[in-house]
Amino acid sequence: MADILVLYYSRYGATAAMATQIARGIGEVDGMQARLRTVPAVSTVCEATEDSIPAQGSPYATLDDLRDCAGLALGSPTRFGNMAAPLKYFIDTTSSLWLGAELAGKPAAVFTSTSSLHGGQETTLLSMMLPLLHHGMLLLGIPYSETDLLHTDAGGTPYGASHLAGTDSDKPLTEAEQRLCRALGRRLAEAAQKLSA
């Protein structure tokens, strides 16, 4: 089995719910499985530390998770139209992988959750692609052959999967949002399989 890393940060659970659907899509491809990982919150108090294993949810990511994976799905809540600081903080620790071009040629995709429909899903998705392009990763979006993209009135973009969580961040994923997450996971896993063949 080859692993696709589903690496995400989620404060209130919406991005985590998307990660679960993307993982399901990955698991639908023969020989591929999802490895779910998260990152700890960052603190303004630099002495603050987290346990090395979170109390609940996915384990924290390490550089080896990135090194080992056949592909990457990167997910973050939208914060001021951009990815959340904890995820960016982790990405900023990947210089050694960049120096060795260890992620170059691996497929990648991105996903995000917002509280408002026009609150920056696309800007977040596009800006999340930037460090992955520096790493030489091959970015995948969602094609319009996934016809949910034509009709969605919640999340769903050609740049990656997205979710409209509402102002209290408590709206469940719609059926269309779930289908698009699974389609993105499948597409990523299929691309990784073809690239390694």
Ligand X SMILES: Cc1cc2nc3c(=O)[nH]c(=O)nc-3n(C[C@H](O)[C@H](O)[C@H](O)COP(=O)(O)O)c2cc1C
Q: For binding to ligand X (CB under 6 A), which residues are involved?
A: 10-16, 77-81, 113-116, 119-120, 165, 169
Closest residue to ligand X, based on beta-carbon distance: 119
Query: Structure tokens of 170?
Result: 């408590």
Nearer to ligand X (CB atom), residue 77 or residue 107: 77
Contact yes or no for 83/7 (Cβ under 8 A): no
Nearest CA to 111 among 70, 155, 69, 146?
A: 155
User: Minimum Å distance from CB 57 to ligand X?
Assistant: 11
From the number of C-beta atoms within 10 Å of its C-beta (0-12, 13-18, 19+), residue 60 rates as: middle
Nearer to ligand X (CB atom), residue 127 or residue 193: 127
User: Minimum Å distance from CB 8 to ligand X?
Assistant: 8
For residue 94, how many other CB atoms are within 10 A of its CB? 17
Contact yes or no for 75/110 (Cβ under 8 A): yes
Query: What is the distance in angstroms between the CA of the first residue and the CA of the last residue of the chain?
Result: 13
User: Minimum Å distance from CB 65 to ligand X?
Assistant: 19
Nearer to ligand X (CB atom), residue 19 or residue 188: 19
For residue 173, how many other CB atoms are within 10 A of its CB? 22
Nearer to ligand X (CB atom), residue 13 or residue 141: 13
User: Minimum Å distance from CB 176 to ligand X?
Assistant: 17
Nearer to ligand X (CB atom), residue 29 or residue 176: 176
Query: Structure tokens of 87?
Result: 């995820």
User: Minimum Å distance from CB 10 to ligand X?
Assistant: 3
Residue 39's SS3 state is coil
